[in-house]
Structure 1
Amino acid sequence: MEPLATHRCIEVKQEIGWIEKRTVETSFDLHLFEDRIEVKDTHYPIKTVLDISYRLEKDKIGFLYLHTTGGIRTYFIKQDPSKLIEEFKVLMPSTKHRM
C-alpha cells in the first residue's frame, strides 16, 4: 500500500572523538497511511493519533508533534509538514467514528 503522505524527519547525534566533537545528522521518513503512521521501526494506529502539530522557524530545526492516546511523540524537522497535516485531517472524520 502506498502512503498518503510522507515527510522527512531528522535525527541529530553528538559524537566525541579523540580530539573533536562532531554533530551527525541522519534522516528518515514518516509515512501516513489510511490506517497508521509509520516512523522508523514504530507504527501508530491512526485511531490512536489525536492530532499532528508542528513548530518551525526559518532556517532552524523545528519540531513535529504526534499527539497520541499514549502521549506526545516529538520528531525533528527542517521542512514545513503542511501536506502531511492536510492529509491527516482528511482522515480525521472517519477516525472519530471508529473510536
Structure 2
Amino acid sequence: MSGEALAVQTCIEIRREIRGIEEIITEASYEMKLYEDEITVRRERFPLHDVFDISFFRNHREEGAIGFLYLHTKNGVRTFYIRENPDMLIEVYKKLSAKEL
C-alpha cells in the first residue's frame, strides 16, 4: 500500500437475526479503499494487477437504495453492498488501469 487512498467507497454489511417471532435487521458499514497499487477491504488486499474490472448495479433508482458493487478479480467476482454511488471509485480505478496498459 502506497500513500493515501485515492478513492474510498463505503460498503455495508446487512445482518438478519430472528429473535422469537421478530426479525431484526442491522447494518454495519466499512470502507473499500483504492490505492495506486491495490484495493483494500477490511483485512483483504486485492493487488490492482489482479483486478480486471469494477462494476455496479442498482435495481431501484431512488437515492439510498442498496446497490451491488462487483470487484472482478483473477480469483472470481466479489460482491459488496453499497448505498452511495461508486462513480468516483470506478473512475479512479479506470484511470489507474489505463496507465498499466
TM-score scaled by length of structure 2: 0.88
Instruction: Give the counterpart letter for 1:94 in structure 2.
Output: K
Is residue 96 of structure 2 the alignment partner of residue 94 of structure 1?
no
Runs of 4+ residues over 3 Å off in structure 1: none
In the other structure, the counterpart of 1:9 is: 11
Describe the SS at the equivalent of 1:79.
Answer: coil
TM-score scaled by length of structure 1: 0.90
In the other structure, the counterpart of 1:34 is: 36
User: Identity percentage over the alignment?
Assistant: 42
How many residues are paired up? 96
RMSD over aligned Cα, in angstroms? Answer: 1.2
Whole-angstrom distance in 1 between the partners of 2:19 and 2:11: 26
- Higher deviation after alignment, 36-45 or 56-65: 56-65
Alignment of 1:1-99 (within 5 A): 1-56=3-58, 57-59=60-62, 60-96=65-101
Contiguous gaps of at least 5 residues in structure 1: none
